[in-house]
Amino acid sequence: MSNRGLIIALVASATLNVFAAAAGTALLISRDKVEDRVELQSRAPRSNSPMQLVQQLDAGVQQRVREQLRAGALTARPDFEEARAARREAVALAQAATYDPKQVQALLERSRAAEMRGRARLEATSLQVLSTLEPADRQVLAQILSRRNHAKDKAGERPAEPAR
């Protein structure tokens, strides 16, 4: 084989190796991303979520309590939707070319007020449901009034922040 043929073979081999290394790196990176997504999907749901607590109640009252809590959540839904819309509008105004801090502040206050109305509705429904339960069931379901993660509290760790 001539020198020219060896040089061409060497360049072709080096090029092939670079492409193989790039493909291998891309494969490893994408595999890590897929594993991260699978891990996120397989995580246990939030501890002490209302529906998990309902499952711990006496079987005879589970369906009734679930329906009442769901109905209460549906009545609070417009408030939470208004809160999200006002917050989105505040963010958009804050990103605009002209910035009006008073208008942004007013939207944020409107968002907080709507969220508090929604929370108040949820709490009122919870109190109404709690008043219909036996003491043992009420003791289990009363945890829905807390905004803390009780599993971590009991372990002495800092409670989880609410999702935003």
Overall domain count for the chain: 2
pLDDT computed for residue 147 by the predictor: 65
In a domain, 163, yes or no: no
Mark whether 55 and 117 lie in a shared domain. Answer: yes
pLDDT digits (tens, 9 = 90+) for 139-163: 888 888 886 544 444 444 444 444 4
CATH number at residue 77: 1.20.120
Mark whether 6 and 77 lie in a shared domain. Answer: no
Say what percent of the chain tops pLDDT 70: 84
- Taking residues 81-85, what's their average pLDDT? 96
Are 159 and 152 in contact, with CB atoms under 8 Å apart? Answer: yes
Q: Sign of dihedral through CA atoms 75, 80, 138, 131?
A: negative
Domain of 117, in residue numbers: 50-154
Mark whether 93 and 31 lie in a shared domain. Answer: no
Cα gap 66→45, rounded to integer Å: 17
Mark whether 59 and 121 lie in a shared domain. Answer: yes
pLDDT digits (tens, 9 = 90+) for 20-52: 999 988 888 888 888 778 777 766 555 567 888
In a domain, 161, yes or no: no
Q: Would you say the pTM of this structure is higher than 0.85?
A: no
